[in-house]
């Protein structure tokens, strides 16, 4: 019984510490190719710092920060203990739709 409770407690703590995507971040595309952001507007640097509970925490944190800056593309420059990247706004989002 004690082992079961301990396992449940560890699972709950792990789930509570994961970085979830905000709705806007679900649409952020990720690239490591500089050609993919050529002609895009740089919005600023983003990063993520350990500890990470899951393998996706760093990426989710950077995608959230990109979305908060108003970006739609995350250019990843480093993905190791400290993950870094640049948030970009790509595409002609300011133009009205064609009629």
Encode pLDDT of 8-59 as tens digits: 444 444 445 688 999 999 999 999 999 999 999 999 999 998 888 888 999 9
- pLDDT at residue 73 tops 50: yes
- Quote the DSSP letter at residue 47: E
pLDDT at residue number 70: 98
Average the pLDDT over 52-73 and give the result.
Answer: 95
pLDDT at residue number 62: 98
pTM above the 0.85 mark? no
pLDDT bracket for residue 1 (50, 70, 90)? low
Instruction: For each of the domains in the chain, give its residue range(s) and CATH number, in order of start.
Output: 2-89 (3.30.110)
CA distance linking residue 80 with residue 61, whole number of Å? 14
CA distance linking residue 38 with residue 48, whole number of Å? 24
* Contacts with 73 (C-beta within 8 Å, 6 or more apart), sequence order: 28, 29, 30, 31, 36, 37, 40, 66, 87, 88, 89, 90
pLDDT at residue number 57: 95
User: Interior CA angle at 54 toward 52 and 60, to 5°?
Assistant: 80
pLDDT at residue number 82: 87
pLDDT, tens only, 77-86? 999 888 999 9
Contact, 43 vs 88, CB < 8 A?
Answer: yes
């Amino acid at each position: 019984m004690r082992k079961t409770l301990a396992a449940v407690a560890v699972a709950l703590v792990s789930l509570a510490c994961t970085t979830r995507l905000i709705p806007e971040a679900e649409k952020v595309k990720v690239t490591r190719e500089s050609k993919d952001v050529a002609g895009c507007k740089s919005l600023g640097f983003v990063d993520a710092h350990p500890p990470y509970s899951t393998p996706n925490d760093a990426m989710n944190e950077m995608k959230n920060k990109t979305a908060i800056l108003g970006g739609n593309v995350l250019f990843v420059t480093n993905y190791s203990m400290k993950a870094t990247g640049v948030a970009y706004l790509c595409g002609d989002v300011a133009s009205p739709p064609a009629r």
